């Protein structure tokens, strides 16, 4: 989606990425990007891509949540197509282990160091119960108190509370900081893939 392909709605010629398993009921805020794009188009027609809007919005969101700022180089081009199949196969799954994650990132030319750094984005955001239920009830490398607290919002039977949300960083869920990594050291990673 870094080329804004995730913003494209389904058409007669392709099924987009919004309905991909990792994205369903997870990614949102398209109306915010649409609003920004409309304002930019009114001021400066066909100059700023949606891909650049996403990059600047990501930076500005990090800053607003207490994180660092950086210079965003502009000039990205928007995708003209999207692929449900690629979104389903290329986004790392929440149940991946280190071997699967490393291979998934390596396929994109990214190292384990890149993977660890990019995983830090989980200092912000939430996950659906269906993506961490197995961790709560079946894994042993999880803090008992942490798991118990989460079970109240994520019952064991599949289909019960599947879309209930929990923050990826339960310590400081609305602050861009390194608490996500400290949580992992205490076996308080929400997703199997994080821990």
Interacting residues of 101 by C-beta distance below 8 A, sequence separation 6+: 92, 115, 193
Question: 83: annotated binding-site residue?
Answer: no
Question: 172: annotated binding-site residue?
Answer: yes
H or E stretch covering 126: strand 126-128
Question: 161: annotated binding-site residue?
Answer: no
User: How far is residue 95's CA from residue 104's CA, in Å, rounded to a whole number?
Assistant: 13
pLDDT score, position 26: 81
pLDDT tens sequence across 40-73: 999 999 999 999 999 999 999 999 999 999 999 9
Q: Confirm whether pTM is higher than 0.95.
A: no
Question: 92: annotated binding-site residue?
Answer: yes
User: How far is residue 46's CA from residue 12's CA, in Å, rounded to a whole number?
Assistant: 24
User: How far is residue 104's CA from residue 96's CA, in Å, rounded to a whole number?
Assistant: 9
Question: 192: annotated binding-site residue?
Answer: no
Question: 1: annotated binding-site residue?
Answer: yes
Which of the four CATH numbers 3.40.50.12160, 3.40.50.1000, 2.70.98.10, 1.10.520.10 does domain 5-90 have?
1.10.520.10
Q: Which residues of the chain does CATH 1.10.420.10 include?
A: 98-194
- Decide: 135 and 192 in contact? Cβ < 8 Å: yes
- CATH no., domain 98-194: 1.10.420.10
Per-residue tokens: 157: 């039977």
Q: Which residues of the chain does CATH 1.10.520.10 include?
A: 5-90
Block residue for tokens 């196969």 = 89
pLDDT score, position 1: 63
Question: 17: annotated binding-site residue?
Answer: yes
């Amino acid at each position: 989606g870094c080329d804004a392909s995730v913003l494209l709605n389904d058409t007669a010629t392709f099924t987009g990425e919004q309905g991909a398993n990792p994205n369903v009921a997870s990614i949102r805020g398209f109306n915010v990007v649409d609003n920004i794009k409309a304002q930019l188009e009114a001021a400066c027609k066909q100059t700023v891509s949606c891909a650049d809007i996403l990059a600047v919005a990501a930076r500005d969101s990090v800053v607003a949540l207490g994180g660092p700022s950086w210079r965003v180089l502009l000039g990205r081009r928007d995708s003209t197509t999207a692929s449900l199949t690629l979104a389903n196969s290329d986004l790392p799954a929440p149940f991946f282990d280190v071997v699967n994650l490393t291979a998934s990132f390596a396929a994109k030319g990214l190292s384990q160091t890149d993977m660890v750094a990019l995983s830090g984005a989980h200092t912000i955001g939430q996950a659906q119960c269906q993506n961490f239920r197995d961790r709560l009830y079946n894994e042993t490398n999880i803090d008992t108190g942490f798991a118990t607290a989460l079970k109240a919002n994520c019952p064991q039977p599949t289909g019960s509370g599947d879309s209930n949300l929990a923050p990826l960083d339960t310590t400081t869920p609305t602050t861009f900081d390194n608490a996500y990594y400290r949580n992992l050291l205490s076996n308080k990673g929400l997703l199997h893939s994080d821990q």
